[in-house]
Every structure is written in structure tokens, then in C-alpha cells.
A and B are shown apart, each in its own frame.
Chain A
Amino acid sequence: GDSVTQMEGPVTLSEEAFLTINCTYTATGYPSLFWYVQYPGEGLQLLLKATKADDKGSNKGFEATYRKETTSFHLEKGSVQVSDSAVYFCALGGAQGGSEKLVFGKGTKLTVNP
């Protein structure tokens, strides 16, 4: 069945460092791909998404490109801030990019130190 493999954490970086969190997937058909972020004490929030191959999702300085050839959707940010400390989840969904059932990775905890 469909699955998502996400880089294991925790990840600890200094402020302004470059961030990469790897995510690869296994799926039939043409799924949509998502990154969700969970700040301490809050629910998951959609960070960005891509619905087809070669699409790039971006938000708040984060980017991820849907790579069909490598079945990957790695999350990147050029310069992290302390406020980016959170748990990041990669997820796979249906072709419409909407409210279909999502398959999540295990989450990667990021801590950014000043």
C-alpha cells in the first residue's frame, strides 16, 4: 500500500542554518504530497503542498518539489529561525489534493537554537 518514509529526527540547527528534511514515498497512481507542521501545543497545520510532478510548494520560506522520478518531496529552507522549531510531517494524499485520506510519515522534530 501507500507509504511515506521521512528522515528521522530529532534535528538540531543553529539559527540561519540551511534545513533539509528528506521525504520519499511509495504510491500507486498520482498522489498529492503535503508537508504539515505542528508547533508545540497546537494541531497540525498545512505548510505546503504539491499536486503533480515538478510542482513546487512554498510557504514561509519553506519549499518542496514533487519529484516523480525519485519519488521524493524533500522540505528545504535556506535560513531557519528559532520560531521554526516544530515537528514536521510529510504526507501523501489523493490525486485531487483535497480531503482524501492522508498517509503520514513519522514526523521529524526540528529544534532551532539562537
Chain B
Amino acid sequence: GAVVSQHPSRVICKSGTSVKIECRSLDFQATTMFWYRQFPKQSLMLMATSNEGSKATYEQGVEKDKFLINHASLTLSTLTVTSAHPEDSSFYICSASSGNTGELFFGEGSRLTVL
């Protein structure tokens, strides 16, 4: 089946630095990608929807200047956590929509720890 890959799977950074997480659709072109955040024992919270070649649409309460999303090609979307703080530590998950079926395929997730 279709595969979506995230990188890195784990990242530890110092407070104040920026971290980039990549989400790639490996065998299909993804016109739409979604970024989620998951807190321990909580559900996945949708952060933003990114469409190739246009600006991302952020959910209410998500700081667009804090979480920069770029969807420059049909196979790659990136999430950059700028000036990270310990409260940004979380599990970030992306999903990509196959234009053919509309089905969502999820990445393995990236665990960010900010010291």
C-alpha cells in the first residue's frame, strides 16, 4: 500500500533552536497533507492542512509563526518548529491524501523533545 515516511523519528534539541520535520509520500503524489500533534494519552489534534503550492491552513489556536509548514512539492511537506520551547515537546504526525482514492496515509510520527 501507499507509504508515507517521516524524518526524523526522534529529535532532541535545546530551547530556542528550530527543528524541521519532513513528511514524504513515497509512492504517490499528495495534493494535501495534514499535520497533527499528539500529547500523551490524548487524541491526535489537527494543527494544519497544507496544499501543494499554496499556504497552509491552520486550525484555531495554532500559531502559524511558530509552526511553519511548507508543501513545496507533491511528495514533500515540512513542519518547522521555530524557537522551540519545552512545551513544544510532543509527538508530531503527518498524513497525506492520495488524490486517486482520497484515503489518508499516515507517517510513523516524530517525537520532539526540547530541553
Contacts and interface: CB of A to CB of B under 8 A. Distances in A.
Interface string A44-56: 1110000000000
Contacts of B103: 46, 98-99
Contacts of A107: 41, 43
Q: How large, as a class, is the contact surface on chain A?
A: 20 to 34
Contacts, number: 49
A104 B108 contact: no
A97 B101 CA distance: 10
Please report whether the interface of chain B is mostly helix, strand, loop or mixed according to DSSP. strand
Please report whether the interface of chain A is mostly helix, strand, loop or mixed according to DSSP. loop
Given A36-B106, A99-B103, A107-B43, 16 more contacts: A42-B108, A43-B93, A43-B107, A43-B109, A44-B106, A97-B102, A98-B102, A98-B103, A99-B102, A101-B34, A101-B46, A101-B49, A102-B44, A102-B104, A104-B43, A106-B42
